[in-house]
Amino acid sequence: MYPLFILRIGERVMNEIEKFREAVRFDMKRVPVRQRHYLRPVTWLLSLPAIIKGKLKINKVNMEGVKPPYLLLCTHHAFNDFKVTTAAIFPHRAAYVVAIDGFIGREWLLRQAGGICKRKFTNDIQLIRQIRHVLSKHGDILALYPEARYSLIGTNAVLPASLGKMAKLLGVPIVVLNMHGNYLNSPCWNLTPRGNKIAADMSLIFTPQELVETSVDAINEKINKAFEYDEYRWQKENNIIIDHPKRGQGLHKVLYQCPHCMSEYHMDSYDSFLVCRSCNKEWQMSTLGELSATKLADDESSLITEFSHIPDWYEFEREQVRKEVLNGTYHIELTVTVDALPNARRYIRLGKGQLTHSLNGFSLTSDFNGEPFELKKSVESMYSCHIEYNYFGKGDCIDLSTLDDTYYLFPDGKDFSVTKIALATEELFFMSQHSLR
């Protein structure tokens, strides 16, 4: 008798696009599970080492008498955020909104721990129902990371305008957990831990009655104010020395444009240095997180440090992208490798596609195994986009989602920056909302 895994004569093996079409989609409608009691001490124990090593200090403001249920809005810097959040709400439990890639290979466990799946930067009405269920039926804390991605440069990211409306609809206390030091410890462009101290500010910003009396715009304004942070400024103000020898390696992923020669995609980094391969100018990151020029550019006569404060360089790049959007010249076309994630089981490699990002938004087209494919995302549908640096060792990527699928797009070559695409997405959305284009 032949082994069962041998195909029967004439049986056809499905190709990847067919597997993708046939795949059972992640059940986004399943009622959230209340975090199991037996997992609560596990979450505490898993969080403890990072809390002790970082000498976590939590500054609580107006939190006297605040008990679940409430909505906890958290800043998002690194994986350590979840551990800090666990410590901040101790001994209470919470449900967490988690991106679908966080569920890969551990869907059952995350659901038992209170995880609620979300596809990034999609308008998901079902999520509101699940959040209301956690708050009204479970009576627990709902932890939400509305920036929806790790901070790229240690400053707060754009928040969805729908946040204020949701807060008003839920009618529970609104608490903000603004964390410090997690980004410095393991920035998204270099995840090697630095071991610096960490802290957090936990503040009640709205009571249910205050939500009733406050407009949606005013709620959004206060939430945005509470979310403000600058990790490099916090580092300097607290004299946090980070002397890791490779503290600057990977920074060029975010700082992709040279402020001296203005060339794009020629930045590089090594150890504590940032260098432009076009004009050969070089900068060094100090142990306090500041930049200083250390080598003249080819056409430079005196050494000038354009931006000592790292986030200022990032905002300079944003301004350059804004100019391209305003004058109508922003346009990027890339050949990309497409991985799909219809559920939490595995990625499915679909093949090559053509990605266009322009004044009209995103367009992904391909012909996967003879089957035409097209995905369009309008400017108005995305206030930002999710990007990753060297995602699972496969390279930098952009991910685009529908309510049923998520596509990870890995551009070919080197003449691109996913950071620029993220900045352009935000600028295009802003311009569309303010009729500036």
For residue range 211-249, what is the model confidence (pLDDT) as tens digits?
Answer: 999 999 999 999 999 999 999 999 999 999 999 999 999
Quick one: pLDDT at residue 208? 97
- Residue-averaged pLDDT of the chain: 93
User: Does residue 287 share a domain with residue 363?
Assistant: no
User: Does residue 423 share a domain with residue 349?
Assistant: yes
For residue range 80-108, what is the model confidence (pLDDT) as tens digits?
Answer: 999 999 999 999 999 999 998 889 888 99
Strands 115-118 and 94-99: parallel
Residue 221 lies in a domain: yes
User: Does residue 79 share a domain with residue 228?
Assistant: yes
Strands of the sheet with 397-401, listed across from one edge:
371-377, 361-368, 348-358, 331-340, 406-411, 397-401, 386-388
Quick one: pLDDT at residue 436? 56
For residue 35, the tally of other CB atoms under 10 A from its CB is: 23
For the entire predicted model, the pTM comes to 0.93
CA gap 400, 408 in Å, rounded: 7
CATH number at residue 403: 2.30.29.30
- Position 125 pLDDT exceeds 90: no
Looking at residue 100, the DSSP 8-state letter turns out to be G
**How far does Cα 45 stand from its chain's mean position?**
26
CA gap 412, 301 in Å, rounded: 37
Domain range spanning residue 394?
Answer: 330-433
For residue range 301-351, what is the model confidence (pLDDT) as tens digits?
Answer: 999 999 999 999 999 999 999 999 999 999 999 999 999 999 989 999 999
Q: Which residues contact 64 (CB under 8 A, 6 or more apart)?
A: none
Residue 229 lies in a domain: yes
User: Does residue 184 share a domain with residue 107?
Assistant: yes
User: Does residue 257 share a domain with residue 215?
Assistant: no
Q: What is the largest CA-CA distance in the chain?
A: 81
Are 382 and 420 in contact, with CB atoms under 8 Å apart? no
Where does a domain end: 324, 355, 370?
324
Residue 422 lies in a domain: yes
User: Does residue 396 share a domain with residue 278?
Assistant: no
CA gap 432, 378 in Å, rounded: 11
* CA-based nearest residue to 410, from 335, 332, 333: 335
CA atoms within 13 A on the CB side of 277: 11
For residue range 409-429, what is the model confidence (pLDDT) as tens digits?
Answer: 999 999 999 999 999 999 999
Residue 340, SS3 per DSSP: strand
Q: What is the mean pLDDT of residues 68-80?
A: 97
Residue 48, SS3 per DSSP: helix
Are 278 and 271 in contact, with CB atoms under 8 Å apart? no
CA gap 135, 114 in Å, rounded: 12
Quick one: pLDDT at residue 254? 98
Both tokens assigned to 209: 């009655």
Residue 18 lies in a domain: no
- Position 297 pLDDT exceeds 50: yes
Residue 268, SS3 per DSSP: strand
User: Does residue 153 share a domain with residue 65?
Assistant: yes
User: Does residue 346 share a domain with residue 288?
Assistant: no
Residue 8 lies in a domain: no
Residue 359 lies in a domain: yes
Q: Write b or e for each residue in 187-212: b if 16 or more Cβ atoms lie within 10 A of its Cβ, otherwise e.
A: bbbbeeebebebbbbbbbbbeeeebe
Q: What is the dihedral of CA 178, 181, 183, 187, to 10 degrees?
A: 180
CA gap 154, 74 in Å, rounded: 14
Partners of 283 in beta bridges: 274, 293
Based on the structure, what is the number of domains in the chain? 3
Residue 117, SS3 per DSSP: strand
User: Does residue 156 share a domain with residue 231?
Assistant: yes
Where does a domain end: 187, 204, 237?
237
User: Does residue 85 share a domain with residue 159?
Assistant: yes
User: Does residue 422 share a domain with residue 289?
Assistant: no
CA gap 80, 120 in Å, rounded: 20
Are 195 and 52 in contact, with CB atoms under 8 Å apart? no
* CA-based nearest residue to 411, from 428, 432, 389: 389
Quick one: pLDDT at residue 124? 83
For residue 263, the tally of other CB atoms under 10 A from its CB is: 14
Are 293 and 274 in contact, with CB atoms under 8 Å apart? no
Residue 2 lies in a domain: no
Q: Which residues contact 236 (CB under 8 A, 6 or more apart)?
A: 288, 289, 290
Where does a domain end: 195, 213, 237?
237
Strands of the sheet with 70-74, listed across from one edge:
57-61, 199-206, 174-180, 70-74, 141-144, 94-99, 115-118
Quick one: pLDDT at residue 62? 96
Strands 331-340 and 406-411: antiparallel
CATH number at residue 168: 3.40.1130.10
User: Does residue 261 share a domain with residue 170?
Assistant: no
Residue 103 lies in a domain: yes
Looking at residue 162, the DSSP 8-state letter turns out to be H
Before 91, cis peptide (omega within 30)? Answer: yes
